[in-house]
Structure 1
Amino acid sequence: MAGRPIDARGWQFEVEDIDATPAKWLPISGITTFTHNPGENEETIDTTAFDSDGQYEQDVMQRGATLEIEGQYRIDKTTKAQDPGQAYIDHVWAQGLGIDSRNRVRWRHNTQVAWVVWDATVTPGEQGGGTNDKTSWSASITRCGPATSEAVTP
């Protein structure tokens, strides 16, 4: 039997609130689309030489990856506070400089038993909308170092 495609809406994204005691993961709500680019920031070096017999050769010298998340700016209906995951990205993580610009993010599909975890930097995205739109929200996340994983725990 052939495998079946998975629904994009089954992906979950979280940011680590490192200021909480103990640190905790905050779900990022309102996401409507994402793009994972596992080849972003890759650097290669040409190793073609006379003895390559006319065939191109290269070595990868640097690996990189990015994650773009986009969706709707979300608030709590009662308190009017921004979604905690979005707010942490906008008002804490995205404000850090130097060593304070790094944070952890993780994601997985609800069919998976492990999270992909990145140490990363974030660039906040544009927000906006028109007359009959909901306000948009987005962030660009760039992996720093290798990806790790964590088992899903109840």
Structure 2
Amino acid sequence: MTLVKVNARDIIIEASDGAATPTWAEIGGLTSVTVNASENEETADTTDFDSDGAYEQDIMQRGATLEMEGFLKKDDATGVLDPGQAQVTTNAGQDALGVASHAMYRFRYPVDDTWTVWDATTTVGEQGGGNNDKTSFNATLTRSGRSTTEAVV
């Protein structure tokens, strides 16, 4: 076994269509991805007089987010959005409220033999750019519940 540095750009993120047998669409055009494994974490201060002046805490809630940024990608002949970006946009639909606001995502690196799978809510950020920019695409996935895994097949 040789330990290697993992390229951030090699991450694979896929969005599910929510079907009983899901179709997964890889999200294209990404230039930056950040997974924050402690977002929405909540703690309880358990420091008391017996702590001898040392802070103590318990973690009461775990959370996580995945933020992605990139370029909006469309087919130059049809105008059809990149399949993954289209699924993210659908998952974040303005009518997607309550339980309908949840969608499934999975991500991994090529060296991984399992996917990390999230039930997550989806927030699509601002799109646009300046005079000499390409149009941006960005979204934040906020995990709901615990992560699960599934084998890469």
TM-score, normalised with respect to structure 2 = 0.93
Partner of 1:134: 134
Q: Which runs of no fewer than 5 residues in structure 2 stay unpaired?
A: none
RMSD, aligned α-carbons: 1.5
C-alpha distance in 1, partners of 2:56/2:10?
39
Using the TM superposition, give the Cα deviation of residue 3 of structure 1 relative to its aligned residue in structure 2, in angstroms: 2.8
Worse-superposed segment, 2-11 or 52-61: 2-11
2:119: which partner in 1?
119
Q: C-alpha distance in 1, partners of 2:113/2:13? A: 14
Tell me how far apart the structure 1 counterparts of residues 53 and 2 of structure 2 sit (CA, whole Å): 40
Q: How many Å apart are 1:89 and its aligned residue?
A: 1.5
Q: Which runs of 5+ in 1 are unaligned?
A: none
Between the aligned residues of both structures, percent identity stands at 51
State the aligned residue count: 151
Measure, in 1, the Cα distance between the counterparts of 2:85 and 2:3. Answer: 34
State the Cα distance separating 1:4 from its structure 2 match.
2.6
What is the CA distance between 1:103 and its match in structure 2? 0.6
Higher mean C-alpha displacement, 73-82 vs 40-49: 73-82
SS of 2:33's partner is strand
SS at match of 1:4: coil
Higher mean displacement: 75-84 or 52-61: 75-84
Alignment of 1:1-150 (within 5 A): 3-19=3-19, 22-90=21-89, 92-95=90-93, 96-150=96-150
The two structures have a TM-score, normalised by structure 1, of: 0.93
Q: Distance in 1 between matches of 2:48 and 2:8?
A: 44
Shift of residue 2, structure 1, vs aligned partner: 7.2
Partners of 1:101 and 1:138 in 2: CA distance: 17
Q: SS state of the match for residue 31, structure 2? A: strand
| Residue 9 of structure 1: how far off its partner (Å) | 1.6
